[in-house]
Homo-oligomer: A and B are copies of this chain.
Amino acid sequence: MPDFAKLDAFLDETETDGYLIDADSTDSDQYYLSGFDAPDPFVTLYDGETHLLFPRSLEFGRAKRESRAETVQRYVDFDHGELVEEHGPDAAVSRVLARFLDSYGVDSVAVPPRFPLRTADRIRALGVEVTADTDGTITEIRATKTDEEIDHVRAAQRANEAAMGAAAELLAAADVADDGHLTHDGEALTSERVKEEIEVTLLRHGCSLDETIVACGADAADPHDRGSGPLSAGEPIIIDIFPRDKATKYHADMTRTFCVGEPSETVREWYDLTERAKRAAFDALEPGATGEAVHDAVCDVYEDAGLPTLRSDDRAETGFIHSTGHGVGLDVHELPRLSPGGGELEPGHVVTIEPGLYDPEVGGVRIEDIAVVTEDGYENLTEYDERLVV
């Protein structure tokens, strides 16, 4: 059960009657606030208690059983049919929403930054005050994990390590063809083949898969390129896996960079430098430090070595061109930010530390662990070694 004391305080401070979400449960704020998993959008009102509103009856029974809401209602409970006949389908929805809010005495609501505009305009037109919550209060609450949530991340990370191990084994067992491409059992060893191995392993461990990155050579020089095609010996291969546990919905996140055979001198230097940058970040990681300070520690290491960062050049397209890390939980990217402007870290923040270097001429190198900020520093949740050459 999440702690909504911060939400109560927020509503008090802003003199707002309630917090309103209109989304399906792939929106993690919705899932967190409603405690209910549904594929189609529904409305959650929090006014000290939690109330759900569904367009149709489909989820009604399950919501009554599974959600943590005090009340569960449907459009039909607010005379939706009659309102459609009288005012048409669009105005009917507006009126149902207004009646729903009115039934709890709610005249003003705060909503998440990405709350749907049409719903906001509908209820504004009927006199309800709607304020986009620029700080994303629920998202902020989600940043601080309970022990149970940390255990969920830890469990997902164990599955992640099994998948990384399976990928590393595949690389270690690869042969090198005359053209330098890797082969396995006589077939080309491609990015796609390694991803399939990773994904099947995750599935067998109860995780669903967002994307997975297995990127070699120039592909790896683009931090978000998922990679494709043949893998080559002597080139760095970035493997970034971020599974979601299907039962708990919590993510893990880890990256390793491997090279089958000898890497270039530059890649070896980059790897050593990136390990050093990672240690510097962890040295800075503690409650009270800012996300920006942890990011700065990484930039210092790279800039001292004469490499570009976005801090030294905000248009840099090579070097260290992303942030140092991000929160991980129901979303694979969530608060806090370990980047410029990243705020104060607190015990219970689960974050990645993932320095990396990129250049299409060289390839990419990235090493990423996941850790939780504790009362007196951090606990690294990652149990997987670092080894460039396989």
Query: Which residues of A does B touch, CB under 8 Å?
Result: 26, 38-41, 56-62, 76, 81, 89-90, 111, 113-121, 130, 132, 134, 196, 199-200, 203-204, 208-211, 222-225, 310, 314-317, 321-322, 332-333, 341
Contact = CB atoms under 8 A, between A and B. Distances in A.
Say how many copies of this protein the assembly contains: 2
A194 to B, nearest CB: 13
A130 to B, nearest CB: 7
A114 B113 contact: no
Contacts of A315: 57, 76
Nearest to A113: B118
Contact of A111 (B117, B224, B341): B117
A58 B333 CA distance: 14
Nearest to A192: B206
A134 B332 CA distance: 31
Contacts of A119: 113
Given A117-B111, A132-B117, A322 B62 contact: no
23 contacts: A39-B211, A57-B315, A57-B316, A58-B224, A58-B322, A59-B224, A62-B222, A62-B225, A81-B314, A90-B134, A113-B118, A114-B117, A115-B116, A115-B117, A115-B118, A117-B117, A117-B130, A196-B203, A199-B203, A200-B200, A200-B203, A200-B204, A209-B209
A312 to B, nearest CB: 13
A210 B39 CA distance: 10
Contacts of A57: 310, 314-317, 321
A115 B121 CA distance: 11
Nearest to A26: B26
Contacts of A322: 56, 58
A298 B56 CA distance: 18
A210 B114 CA distance: 23
A321 B58 contact: yes
B211 A209 contact: no
Contacts of A56: 310, 322
B116 A121 contact: no
Given A58-B321, A200-B200, A132 B115 contact: no
Contacts of A114: 41, 116-118
Contacts of A332: 39
Contacts of A130: 117
Contacts of A203: 196, 199-200, 203
A332 B321 CA distance: 35
Contact of A333 (B39, B120, B199, B310): B39
A126 to B, nearest CB: 15
A165 to B, nearest CB: 18
A116 B118 contact: no
A314 B117 CA distance: 29
